Structure 1
Amino acid sequence: MAQEMADETTIVLYLFKRLHQLGIRSVHGVPGDYNLVALDNLADAGLNWVGNCNELNAGYAADGYARIKGISALITTFGVGELSALAAVAGSYSEHVPVVHIVGTPSTLSQKMGAILHHTLGNGDFSVFANMSRNISQIVVNLNDPTIATRDIDRALKACCVTAHPVYIALPTDMVLRKVSTKGLDTPIDISLHPNDPKIESDVIENITQMIYGANNAIILIDACAIRHRVVEEVHDLIDKSQLPAFVTPMSKGDIDETNSRFGGVYVGSVSRSDVKEAVESADLIISIGALKSDFNSGGFTYHTSTKHTIELHSDYTKKLLSLLDFHRIRHTEGAKSDLPELKNEDMEKIETREITHSWFWPHIGNWLEENDVVVTETGTANFGIIETRFPKGVTAISQVLWGSIGYSVGACQGAALAVKESQSHFPRRVILFVGDGSFQLTGNEVSTMIRQGLKPIIVIINNEGYTIERMIHGENAGYNDIQPWKYTKFLEAFGAKEYANYVVRTREEVDKLFKKGNEFSKANRIQLVELFMPKLDAPRALKITGKMSEMLNAKMAVLDS
C-alpha cells in the first residue's frame, strides 16, 4: 500500500513538476478563487509565485520571462482573470513565445449542472472562454479526466516547446488534488522535432547547397524565428564558417553578435540605412533564416529582394546545412560590414543643440551598454530607435515589433529581470528598459512587482509628452495623442522601494554624465528610474518613414473599403 501511494501524486503537482523540469522556476499570475488550491502546491514543486498587479501585466511578464528562459507559465482564474490576460497571450502567439496558460476553472460537477456561478456569463456555458483562447493557443486541454490528465499535460507542454506558441490548460477545482501516477515524471518530455521525409529533405538540401555554391554575392538575413526556435547557435556557426555577411531584422535585433566582423546591420526594407539596403538588395542570393515579414519588421512591406533568389530556412534545415555544406566552395565579398551610425543630414543641423534627440541618443547609448545586458524596448520610439544602437557581445534585446501592444515592455521587463535573477549564478546581467511616457502609463504599476521581487532594472522613461508613435502615423498635435503628465520620479517611493535612485536628464551633457561606464548608476545595484526628456515631435529616422508608410497604407485601405 505504501509503495502504491509513493507511486502517486496529484494532477496539480504533476503539472507543476513538469514545469520545473522544463526550467521554469517562477510562475506569473493573479490569485482567484478557482486557482487558489492549485497555488498552494507551487512551493512543493520548487516553484516561486510572482504575484502580479493584474493579469495583463502577468501575461506580458510571462512573455518576457520566456524570452530569457525559453518557456514560462501564467496562472489566472476562470473568466475575469483569463480574459484580462488574453491581449498578452495573443502577443505571445503572434511573436512565437512559448507560454503555458493555466486557468483555474469551476468544478466539473458545477459545469455539468450548468450552475450560474460568479465569473460566468450566467448562461451555463463553461466552454466559451476556452473557445476564445483556442485561436491564440497551439493546443487547448481540459484536465477533467484523471485517467488521461498526465498524457494531456505532456501533450500540451510538448506542443508549447516545439511550436514556440502558448498553450491553454484548464484545471477544474475538483481535479487539482485527484491522484495520478508519477511514472511519467521519470522521463523528460520529448521536445524533438518531427523528422522530415528523408528523400524530400535530401533533395531540398541538395538544391539549397547548389544555389549557395553558385552565388557570387550571397548574404544571410536572420529574423525572429531563429531565436524562438532555438537555432541561434547554429546560425552563428553558419556565419563563422561561411564568412558570409549577416544582417538582422528589427525582430531579431540582438540575436546575432554585433561585434562579429561579418555583421552588416539591420535590414528594414526601404527604411534601412542606405549602406545596409544596398548590401542586401544587391545580393544574388539571400539565405533567410526564421523569416517573419510583418509590416513594421519589413519597413512597411518594402523588401526589394527577389523571391526567386531567396532561400527560406527554419530550425531543422539550418542544422542539416551545417553538416553538409562544403564551406570552401562558398564565394563571398568583403563588403557589407556595418559601421556605427554617424550624425548626418538632419542630425548635423542640431549638432550644437543641448537637447536630447533620437538621432543623437540611440547611436550614443551603444557606447554605454555592456556585454550580456538585457535591453527591453517599448513599441514606439524605443523600438525604432534601438535599430541604430550597436550592441556589445551577448546583449539580448526584447521587443514586440509584430504584436505591438503599448505597455508590453514594463511587464516584459519584470519577467526578464526575474529570469535573469534566477540565472545570475552564471554571469551578472543588467536589465535596462526604455519606455515612452505614454506606454508607461498603461502598465507602470508593474514596477511594484519588480520591487516586491527584489529586482534591479534600470528603467528609462522617455518623456516626450504622449503617444509619439501615433503622432508619427497620424495626428501630430491631436488631443487624443496627449497624456496627463505624471511625477515619474515619485513612483519608486510610492511603491515602497527601500533602496532606489531617481534621475532626471534633460540635456546631452546630463546623458553623458549619467550613462558613464563604471559609475554607481551603471553598476545597477538597485532599482533605478531615469526620466529622460526628448522633444514632443522628435522621433527616430526609421519611425518617421514607417509612420508615413502606415498612414498611406491605412488611407489606401480605407479607399478600397469604401
Structure 2
Amino acid sequence: MYLATRLVQCGVHHLFGLPGDFNLSLLDEMLTVDELTWVGSTNELNAAYAADGYARAGRKLGALSTTYGVGEMSAINGIAGAYAEDVPVVQITGFPSTSAAAEGLLLHHTLIDSDYNHFFRAYKEVTAAAAILTAATASRDIDRVLLAAMRESKPVYLAIPTDVAVARVPDSNLRDPLAGPRSDPAALSRFTRDLYARLQGTAEVTVLAGPRLHRRRLEDTVRRLAEVPGVHIASQPGAKAIVDESHPSSLGTYMGAITRSQSAREAVDQAPVLILAGVVLSDLLTGFFSHRFDPRQSVDLGMNEAHIDQTTYYGVTLEDSLNAVESVLHAQRVITEGRPVAPAATNQTVHRKVSGTDISSGSLTQDAFWSRIQAWLPDDAIVIADAGTAFCGALELKMPNNSDLLGQPVWSSIGYTLPATLGTSLAAPEQRSVLFIGDGSAQLTIQELTTILHQGLSPIIFLINNEGYTVERAIQSPHAVYQDVYPWNWTALPGVLAPGIDSVTTVVSTGTELETALETAAATTGKLVFIEVLVPKLDTPSILTELAAGLADANSSA
C-alpha cells in the first residue's frame, strides 16, 4: 500500500501491466488503494508504451507492473524509449522471494544460474535509479527512486520480492508528498545575475523550445515568454505547437536544413541571442546535425543545470532557469516600443495545397490526405503520430489551438503510439486523442486496441495503409521483399478484439470517401473511430523524403 499511495500522491491513478506469479501479492496489496485503477495490457511492451503516453499527457509519472524476468524483459524496450525521451515511468517488478534469491534456487523465469540480478543490472542501464527492496528500507528506497524519476524526468525501476510485497512498513513519510525538482539557491542566483548581463541591451531573442519542456510541464511558461516583446520562439519536432503556431512570436518547427521556412531557419541559426530551452540535439531533430548555431555560444537550459556560453550552473532546474529568462526579459524591457514583426511572419511549415480534383475524386496521396487533415483537425486534441510516414506527415501540419503533437522522434520505436494512445486517453480524457499510424507499425502493437475499446475510450485512429515499411523504402531498397507486410483486414479488428462493443470503422481511398469519414469522425464523440487510409506504397511526405536521404547518406558514410 505504501508504494500505491505514493504513486497516487504523484498523480498516478492508473497502473498498467500484466500479472505473473511473482507480482500477484504485490498487485493485491497495491489495488487496495481505491484511487489506483488496474489497466491490464495485452503484453508488457504495450504496458510500458501506455505508461509512457500516460506520463506525457499531463501526469507526473506513469507506472506499470510486470513479473520477474520474462515480463520485465518484454517491457524493457519501452523503458529504454522512455529513458531516451526523458519520460518518468516507474517499472515495478514482482521479484522472487528474498530467501529464494539468497539461496540461488533454480526457479522458473530465471536463467538457471543462481544469479537473480541479471535483469536488475539490465534495467540500471536504462533508468535513473533502481532498487531491489528489502522490508527494512522499503519506504526509504521507494521515496528515493520516485524522487529520482521526478527530478531527472527518467524512468526508474523497483523490484519487490514476494515477501517484501506484503511486509508492513512505517507510513509516517506519507504525510508529506514528494517534492519535485528544486534548484540550488546560490547557483540560481549566479545564473540569474549573469543572464541579466548576457541579455543586457539585446533587442531580439530567439528561443528554441525542445521536448524536455513538455516533460517538466512548462508549456504555460513558454506561452508567457512568447508575449515578451522581442522574443521569437521556434520549436523542435518533439515540442511542436508548444506555442500556438498562429501566434506572431512563433517561428514554427526548426529542423536544421529541413526547416520548412528559410526565414525561420535564419532566425535560429543567426540569432543574436539564442536560448536553447530543453532541447535535444539528436540527428533527426537537427536535420542530421545541419544546424548552424553553436550551442557553446548560447544560453542553454537543461533539466538540472544551465549554461551561459561556456559557464555551467549546476543544480539549476529547467523550471527555474526558464522562469529566470522570463523575469530578466520583462525587467529589461528589451523592446520599448511595441512588438517587432517576427522574423518569420510567413513562419510556419509550408503547408501543401492540392487541387479540388485531387482531394475529391482522385485516389488519395500523402499530399491530399495531410492537406485535408489540416483543415479538419479539431482544437484541444492530442495528436499522436508513429515514427516514419505518420510523424513526418504530422510535422507538416499547423496544429490547432490547445493541441499537441506526441511522437517518439528520438527512440523512434515503431508501434509505440497505439498503446501510448491508451495512456493519453486515460490521462487526459478531456482531450480527444487522434492517432496516425502506419500498417507496418500497427502490426506490432494492434492488440492493445482491445484495451482501448474495453476501457470505453474513443480516440480517432487513422491507419495509413501503404503496404509495408515505406519509411525504410525511402531510405534504401524500396522493392526488397523485407519491406512488405502481410495484408490484414484492418477494419474487422475492432469487432474481433472487442466483440459487442460498438465502434465506427471505414476504409477510404479517395478524397470523397475521406471527406465523408472525417465528417463522421467529427460527429461521433462517444465511440472509437477507426479509418483505414489507402495510399500508394512509395508515396511519402516531403519531410520524410528529406530525412530518408539524410539517413541513407549517414548509413553509407558509416
- Match of residue 238 from structure 2: 251
Give the Å deviation of 1:347.
8.9
- Match of residue 94 from structure 2: 104
Q: 2:82 aligned with 1:117, yes or no? A: no
Which secondary structure state, in structure 2, belongs to the residue aligned with residue 277 of structure 1? helix
> 2:445 & 2:292 partners in 1: Cα distance?
38
The range that moved more, 379-388 or 299-308, is 299-308
Distance 1:307 1:366, change over 3 A: same
AA at the equivalent of 2:3: L
AA at the equivalent of 2:53: G
> 2:62 & 2:397 partners in 1: Cα distance?
29
- Match of residue 321 from structure 1: 325
The range that moved more, 127-136 or 367-376, is 367-376
Distance 1:432 1:500, change over 3 A: same
Give the Å deviation of 1:377.
0.4
Q: 2:164 aligned with 1:175, yes or no? A: yes
> 2:200 & 2:510 partners in 1: Cα distance?
52
Mapped contact 1:357–1:535 kept (Cα < 8 A):
yes
> 2:138 & 2:190 partners in 1: Cα distance?
41
Which secondary structure state, in structure 1, belongs to the residue aligned with residue 434 of structure 2? strand
Mapped contact 1:363–1:390 kept (Cα < 8 A):
no
Distance 1:349 1:310, change over 3 A: farther
> 2:340 & 2:118 partners in 1: Cα distance?
57
Q: How does 1:139-178 map to 2 (within 5 A)?
A: 139-144=129-134, 146-178=135-167
Q: 2:335 aligned with 1:341, yes or no? A: no
The range that moved more, 250-259 or 69-78, is 250-259
Q: 2:424 aligned with 1:416, yes or no? A: yes
> 1:398 & 1:70 partners in 2: Cα distance?
16
- Match of residue 475 from structure 1: 477
Mapped contact 2:358–2:364 kept (Cα < 8 A):
no
> 1:343 & 1:353 partners in 2: Cα distance?
18
Q: Deviations over 1:510-534 (max 9, x none)?
A: 2223223xx5644331011100011
TM-score when scaled to structure 2? 0.91
Distance 1:202 1:242, change over 3 A: farther
Q: How does 1:105-504 map to 2 (within 5 A)?
A: 105-144=95-134, 146-196=135-185, 198=186, 200-275=187-262, 276-307=264-295, 309-314=297-302, 315=318, 316-325=320-329, 326-330=331-335, 333-335=340-342, 336-337=344-345, 338-339=347-348, 341-343=350-352, 354-421=362-429, 428-497=430-499, 498-504=501-507
- Match of residue 530 from structure 2: 529
Give the Å deviation of 1:157.
0.7
AA at the equivalent of 1:189: L
The range that moved more, 278-287 or 476-485, is 278-287
- Match of residue 81 from structure 1: 71
The range that moved more, 185-194 or 155-164, is 185-194
The count of corresponding residues between Structure 1 and Structure 2 is 533
> 2:154 & 2:73 partners in 1: Cα distance?
18
Distance 1:339 1:14, change over 3 A: closer
Which secondary structure state, in structure 2, belongs to the residue aligned with residue 58 of structure 1? helix
> 2:411 & 2:459 partners in 1: Cα distance?
24
Which secondary structure state, in structure 2, belongs to the residue aligned with residue 450 of structure 1? helix
Which secondary structure state, in structure 2, belongs to the residue aligned with residue 33 of structure 1? coil
> 1:135 & 1:142 partners in 2: Cα distance?
15
> 1:191 & 1:203 partners in 2: Cα distance?
22
Q: 2:38 aligned with 1:49, yes or no? A: yes
> 1:210 & 1:139 partners in 2: Cα distance?
37
Mapped contact 1:499–1:526 kept (Cα < 8 A):
yes
Q: Deviations over 1:183-233 (max 9, x none)?
A: 11111112232415x2x5444333333433444443211011111123222
Give the Å deviation of 1:385.
1.0
Which secondary structure state, in structure 1, belongs to the residue aligned with residue 32 of structure 2? helix
> 1:370 & 1:536 partners in 2: Cα distance?
28
Which secondary structure state, in structure 2, belongs to the residue aligned with residue 179 of structure 1? coil
Aligned residues: percent identity? 35
> 1:135 & 1:143 partners in 2: Cα distance?
18
Q: Deviations over 1:384-405 (max 9, x none)?
A: 1111111112112211000000
Mapped contact 2:203–2:230 kept (Cα < 8 A):
no
> 1:404 & 1:483 partners in 2: Cα distance?
19
Q: 2:507 aligned with 1:507, yes or no? A: no
Give the Å deviation of 1:300.
1.1
> 1:101 & 1:491 partners in 2: Cα distance?
30
The range that moved more, 313-322 or 107-116, is 313-322
Give the Å deviation of 1:535.
1.2
Q: Which runs of 5+ in 2 are unaligned?
A: 303-317
> 1:55 & 1:405 partners in 2: Cα distance?
15
> 1:493 & 1:171 partners in 2: Cα distance?
38
TM-score when scaled to structure 1? 0.91
The range that moved more, 206-215 or 430-439, is 206-215
Distance 1:339 1:20, change over 3 A: closer
Mapped contact 2:4–2:31 kept (Cα < 8 A):
no
